[in-house]
């Protein structure tokens, strides 16, 4: 009787174990000046659903890794359009700017189809990294098993036209930020840690001259452009101090980044946990 009950319990555990959806797969991408190295190379395949990208910057410049979903279009179509200053695909997020030697993590929700990883940073010589070779194709396939679950969130960020909202009290620690685009256009968000006395000028130094940056503001990643209605996640370690969040998506009409043209930035303070 007892043994039989044990078998039933074991069977139930096996069932619930099988029913538990997996965490998102993690893809580690290495950024150099100016290329991405992706596991699997040109044949990189990821399952549809949430996928976590871990970007490691081995370059001498700031880099980011945006994810553009292309459907049945290809990375070649995307680059060809970009050379003509036009755009194909949908922006679904990615790891935003990280300093040389750093790494950043972001979880993006992907649909089956082709996608391309893109660096949107512009060098001091005005060259767009993507057009210097900093792009890589990936293929998103229907998952063979269960779709992964999205990461548990510790802090919610909402992006509006044109402002950023976060909770009032921010505490130190390792956090997973969920970023919802509640606006009507594509937005992104970049997180900077500020040295005492640093201001917007120090942050703008990174955005204007990513190869030079500023010693008084430090880029910690964030999420690359995500289209209206989408959400994605990024991880960051917050220590007590001052921080800034900003959106550097270019305005569709003027090309001026949202933080300049629409003052889409905010400062916040992190207290000890």
Contact positions vs Cu ion (CB under 5 A) = 187, 247, 249, 258, 264
74 versus 180: smaller Cβ distance to Cu ion: 180
| C-beta closer to Cu ion: residue 55 or 249 | 249
Question: Longest C-alpha distance within the chain, in Å?
Answer: 78
* Minimum gap (Å) between residue 234 Cβ and Cu ion: 16
Least distance between Cu ion and beta carbon 194 (Å): 20
**For the chain, counts of helices (H) and of strands (E):** 4, 18
Q: In which residue are the tokens 């921080």 written? A: 243
The answer for residues whose C-beta is within 8 angstroms of residue 67's C-beta and 6 or more apart is: 53, 91, 92, 93, 94, 108, 110, 115, 116, 117, 118, 224
The length of the chain is 273
Residue 33, token pair as written in the block:
């000046």
226 or 235: CB nearest Cu ion: 226
Q: Which is nearer to Cu ion, 184 or 239 (CB)?
A: 184
Residue among 113 and 261 whose Cβ is closer to Cu ion: 261
Q: Rank residues 224 and 264 by Cβ distance to Cu ion and give the closer one.
A: 264
Shortest distance (Å) from residue 200 CB to Cu ion: 16
Instruction: Report the candidate in 232, 210, 213, 220 with the shortest Cα–Cα distance to residue 270.
Output: 220
Instruction: Tell me how far, at minimum, the Cβ of 159 lies from Cu ion, in Å.
Output: 6
**CA separation (Å) from 4 to 14, 16, 18, 73, 232?**
15, 19, 21, 56, 46
Q: Give least dist CB 264 to Cu ion, A.
A: 5
**Contact partners, residue 177, CB within 8 Å, separation at least 6:** 153, 154, 155, 156, 157, 233, 234, 235, 236
Residue 70 CB, nearest approach to Cu ion (Å): 22
Closest CB to Cu ion among 46 and 264?
A: 264
Instruction: Quote the least distance from Cβ 69 to Cu ion, whole Å.
Output: 19
Instruction: Tell me how far apart the terminal alpha carbons of the chain are, to the nearest angstrom.
Output: 51
């Amino acid at each position: 009787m007892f043994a039989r009950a044990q078998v039933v319990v074991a069977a139930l555990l096996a069932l619930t174990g099988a029913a538990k959806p997996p965490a998102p797969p993690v893809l580690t991408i290495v950024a150099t000046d100016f290329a991405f190295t992706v596991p699997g190379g040109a044949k990189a395949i990821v399952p549809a659903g949430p996928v976590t990208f871990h970007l490691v910057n081995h370059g001498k410049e700031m880099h980011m890794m945006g994810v553009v979903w292309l459907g049945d279009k290809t990375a070649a179509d995307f680059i060809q359009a970009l050379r003509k200053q036009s755009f194909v695909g949908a922006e679904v997020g990615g790891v935003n700017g990280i300093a040389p030697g750093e790494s950043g993590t972001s979880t993006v929700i992907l649909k089956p189809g082709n996608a391309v990883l893109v660096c949107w940073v512009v060098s001091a010589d005005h060259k767009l990294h993507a057009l210097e070779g900093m792009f890589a194709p990936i293929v998103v396939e229907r998952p063979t098993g269960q779709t992964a679950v999205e990461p548990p969130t510790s802090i919610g960020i909402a992006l509006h036209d044109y402002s950023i909202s976060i909770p009032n009290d921010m505490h130190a620690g390792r956090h997973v930020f969920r970023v919802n685009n509640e606006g009507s256009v594509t937005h992104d968000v970049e997180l900077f840690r500020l040295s005492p006395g640093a201001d917007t000028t120090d942050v703008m130094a990174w955005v204007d001259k990513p190869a030079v940056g500023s010693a008084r503001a430090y880029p910690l990643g964030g999420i690359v452009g995500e289209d209206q209605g989408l959400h994605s996640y990024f991880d960051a370690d917050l220590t007590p101090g001052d921080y800034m969040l900003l959106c550097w998506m270019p305005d569709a009409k003027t090309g001026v980044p949202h933080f300049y043209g629409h003052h889409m930035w905010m400062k916040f303070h992190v207290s000890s946990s």
